[in-house]
Amino acid sequence: MNTGRSPRPESAPTGVLVLAATPIGQLGDAPPRLAQELAAADVVAAEDTRRFRRLTSDLGLEVNGRVVSYFEGNEQARTPALLDSLLAGERVVLVTDAGMPSVSDPGYRLVVAAVEHDLRVTAVPGPSAVLTALAVSGLPVDRFCFEGFLPRKAGERARRLASLAAEERTMVFFEAPHRTQAALEALAEAFGDERPAAICRELTKTHEEVRRGGLRELARWAADGVRGEVTLVVSGAESVAEVSADPESLLAAVCALEEQGTSRKEAIAEVARRAGVPKRDVYEVVHVR
């Protein structure tokens, strides 16, 4: 991202960008440092200023700086003005409606702009729907990846999931409640009906619920309707490591991936990589059977 501005000179005042996490549910989960940073801020950039005012009122927090909106619709246009504030030496605190800014929320553009101008970027760590859902899912947590929101259009969503069918790490997705069933159906088509998963709904709130099972089973459950904020956690694919280069082993590995929902093209590429052989060798084995 090029803002068109030159990096600040050494003698310029030092502004600081603070990414401040806010509760995803329980108000008591607000980080203790949140109050300190809001009181010290020259500017607070809030995703929704009305929700922010409600949050600070409920928590009894003092805000001395000016408050501006910073959401998806105006993020690109407002970033230059916030960068000017940082370059002028001001302390800018960025908050979103819930969780950590810039993680599927506004903030990334401003972080990039600040980094490009050698400005300090720090954070007030706190609640995260991604890590909370992962921790309570009961699925492997040693390696995971965050995939954000799936595409809304069925074709784009299917292509994205096809590219993830052989992913061995646990995957975390955000989803809107009214699209949860469709997302689970698409996941089942791409990864297989029995792939273990968890629906984490209304995390840390009064009606928190974690539903675990196979993808198709969860899709049937979601058919009755899902309410509240939803985070989906899906187990990764079983490893096909140590594939032997003999034709029988190559064919069996491709078939196993196809049964999990991986396309034949991607299964061939993956098995070739695991076996350390050219893709054409696996292709020939599969297509002459």
Which residue ranges make up each domain of the chain? 16-127, 130-234, 247-287
Select the CATH number that applies to the domain covering 16-127 from these four: 3.40.1010.10, 3.30.450.20, 2.40.50.100, 3.90.550.10: 3.40.1010.10
Going by pLDDT thresholds of 50, 70 and 90, the confidence category of residue 11 is: low
This prediction has a pTM of 0.78
pLDDT digits (tens, 9 = 90+) for 233-287: 999 988 655 677 888 888 888 888 888 777 888 888 888 878 888 888 999 989 8
CATH for 130-234?
Answer: 3.30.950.10
User: What 8-state DSSP symbol labels residue 277?
Assistant: S
pLDDT digits (tens, 9 = 90+) for 104-161: 889 999 999 999 999 999 999 999 999 999 999 999 999 999 999 999 999 999 999 9
Is residue 60 helix, strand or coil? Answer: coil
Residue identified by tokens 């709904």 is 201
CA distances from 17 to 7, 20, 45, 89, 226 (A): 16, 9, 10, 10, 37
Amino acid of residue 170: T
Among 79, 93, 85, which residue's Cα sits nearest to residue 40?
93
- Sheet with 196-201, strands from edge to edge, namely 144-149, 170-175, 230-234, 196-201, 209-214
Burial of 204 (0-12, 13-18, 19+ CB in 10 A): middle
Cβ 222 vs Cβ 180: under 8 Å? yes
